[in-house]
Amino acid sequence: MQLTPIQIVITVLAVALGSMITRFAPFVLFPEGKRPPEVVNYLGSVLPPVMMGLLLVYCLKSVPILSYPYGLPELISIAFIVIIHLWRKNVLLSIGCGTALYMFLVQAVFVA
């Protein structure tokens, strides 16, 4: 653990504040039946897929591609998740199986 307890608490509060602003804002901004501006509607409708794309890259940002194991455990596991999710369409099953495969790959197959 690199952060001090105070820094952890501040980070927790920052995350909570960000989430709470988005949860409370509509109720604060539109106490009665007001309509939101078009640009806000637009961003809200397109940001979820955009942000999922960003998060996908973000959580893989430190995977070494040019050295062993060349990102293969991630690539294989993600391909597996895509296939099993398109097949069974079950969120938890896809996450569970994909994680299990990845753990197997990094613990038993691609051992450094």
Partner 1 sequence: MELTRKNKFTHALSAAFPHTLPVLAGFLVLGIAYGMLMLEKGFGPEWSVLMSAVAFCGSMQFVAITLLTTVFQPVEALILSLLVNARQLFYGLSMLDKYKGFGKVKGFLIYTLCDETFSIASSVNPPEGVEPKYFYLSISLLDYLYWGFGTLLGGLLGGMMPFDMKGLDFALTALFVVLFLEQMKKKGNWIFGLIGIACALLSRVIFGAENMVLPALAIILVALLAGRKKRCN
* Residue from 72, 96, 75 nearest 84 by CA: 96
**Smallest distance from the beta carbon of 68 to partner 1, in angstroms?**
16
**Smallest distance from the beta carbon of 92 to partner 1, in angstroms?**
6
Hey, what are 73's tokens? 């455990």
Distances (CA, A) of 29 to 15, 24, 43, 72: 21, 9, 17, 48
Interaction pattern, residues 55-74, with partner 1; x per rule: CB under 8 A = xxxxxxxx----------xx
Q: Is residue 33 within the footprint of partner 1 (CB under 8 A)?
A: yes
Q: Is residue 112 within the footprint of partner 1 (CB under 8 A)?
A: no
Which one among 46, 65, 70, 87 touches partner 1, defined by CB under 8 A? 46
Alpha helix segments (H runs only) across the chain: 5-29, 38-59, 72-88, 91-104
Q: Is residue 44 within the footprint of partner 1 (CB under 8 A)?
A: yes
Q: DSSP class of residue 30?
A: -
Please list every residue from 70 through 99 that binds partner 1, using CB under 8 A.
73-74, 77-78, 81-82, 85-86, 91-92, 94-96, 98-99
Total of chain residues touching partner 1, rule CB under 8 A: 71
Contact (CB, 8 A) for 99 and 74: no
